[in-house]
Structure 1
Amino acid sequence: MKLLPIICSFLLLVSCHQEKRKTQKPTFLVGDWVCVNDKEGSITYETWHTNLKGLGYTLKEKDTTFKEILSIVTIKDTLFLKVEGVNENPTLFKFKQQSATSFVCENPKNEFPKKIKYYLENNQLKAIVSAKDFKIDFVFERYNTKFINL
């Protein structure tokens, strides 16, 4: 019976000890990607560097019709996808779910999208941007051309 208080004390000590987990960065994004399911006449690219800063843009012929600066940032031990260049101020999407090959982030206050999901599937990078009743799917494949360094 003398062992029971020791075991209880040990369990209490272990349960009260909160280990800080190191945030896992989504390194699966790193690379140069081209969208293979764009509207005809347009082509979308995403480039992610090892520092998890990226650039997304769409070309129609030689004109840039869309451009965003992307980055994965840590604020108070929480990961966010930061999107700049679309709205007047940077927009942060808080990571809600994450694995080694995917993440889901959300910003319910943003008009569109409210939710962004990135994941690897069959050597393709897929992204879904969505709000309540509308979503856009992107399917990217790797390519070897180097673009702007961020």
Structure 2
Amino acid sequence: MPKLCKVLVSLFIILVFAQCLSSQHEPSENFDWLVGKWQRTNEAHDKKTFEYWVKIKDTEYAGLAFTLQNNDTVNQEKMVLSKSDGSWQLKVKTPDEPDFIAFEMTMMKDGLFECNNDSLAFPKKITYWRDGEKLKANVAGDSLQIPFEFSEIEK
């Protein structure tokens, strides 16, 4: 093979390799996979838990979670997933709290995120992810973990 052909082949291989490296992208900051109306499938038989998520804008999603027992609301949370100053946060507010409690996003992949607040006794970590058609979440402290599994009931 002539010397020029070897140089061109080598250059081509380097360019293909560089393109492969540059095509590895950062995780998407799109959380549209949360959007919808969800019902918890691993709930106690006498309760029904729901989460509703809507997209407000590209950098903000709002959620409402509530649990019914005998048609009475026994638990409720408002949630906001938003980006501010280049960082994502999950903020959670229960009726007992005067303000939202912020959890900093510490991990993000396509279809998954994890948020932490080590200043709390429980929860310290909240994780959400998609598993096929299911929405899953885990709320964890030092020794306690509560898994959530949801099926979509309406978009």
Same structural fold, with TM-score higher than 0.5 when normalized by the shorter chain: yes
Aligned to 2:5: none
Work out the CA distance in 2 between the residues paired with 1:106 and 1:88. Answer: 20
Q: Give the SS at the match of 1:133.
A: coil
1:114 and 2:124 equivalent? yes
Contact 1:23 1:78 in 2 (8 A): no
* Alpha-carbon shift at residue 122 of structure 1 (Å): 2.4
* Alpha-carbon shift at residue 23 of structure 1 (Å): 7.7
1:77 and 2:86 equivalent? yes
Structure 1: unaligned runs, 5 residues or longer: 1-20
Work out the CA distance in 2 between the residues paired with 1:87 and 1:116. Answer: 18
Q: Give the SS at the match of 1:139.
A: strand
1:139 and 2:149 equivalent? yes
Query: Would the alpha carbon gap of residues 22 and 104 (structure 1) be closer, same or farther in structure 2, given more than 3 Å must change?
Result: closer
Contact 1:128 1:137 in 2 (8 A): yes
Equivalent residue letter for 1:27:
D
Of 45, 50, 57, which residue of structure 2 is paired with 1:45? 50
* Alpha-carbon shift at residue 65 of structure 1 (Å): 0.4
* Alpha-carbon shift at residue 76 of structure 1 (Å): 1.4
Q: Give the SS at the match of 1:49.
A: strand
* Alpha-carbon shift at residue 75 of structure 1 (Å): 2.4
1:68 and 2:101 equivalent? no
How many positions carry a matched residue from both structures? 125
Of 56, 61, 69, which residue of structure 1 is paired with 2:65? 56
Q: TM-score, normalised by structure 2?
A: 0.75
Query: Would the alpha carbon gap of residues 77 and 23 (structure 1) be closer, same or farther in structure 2, given more than 3 Å must change?
Result: farther
Contact 2:107 2:114 in 1 (8 A): yes
Q: Give the SS at the match of 1:110.
A: coil
* Alpha-carbon shift at residue 22 of structure 1 (Å): 10
Q: Give the SS at the match of 1:28.
A: helix
Q: Which string of whole-angstrom CA distances, capped at 9 and with x for unpartnered residues, describes residues 46-102 of structure 1? A: 000122111000000110000010111222110000101253321001000111200
Aligned to 1:14: none
Equivalent residue letter for 1:30:
V
Contact 2:68 2:75 in 1 (8 A): yes
CA RMSD across the alignment: 1.8
Identity across matched positions, percent: 29
Work out the CA distance in 2 between the residues paired with 1:100 and 1:74. Answer: 16
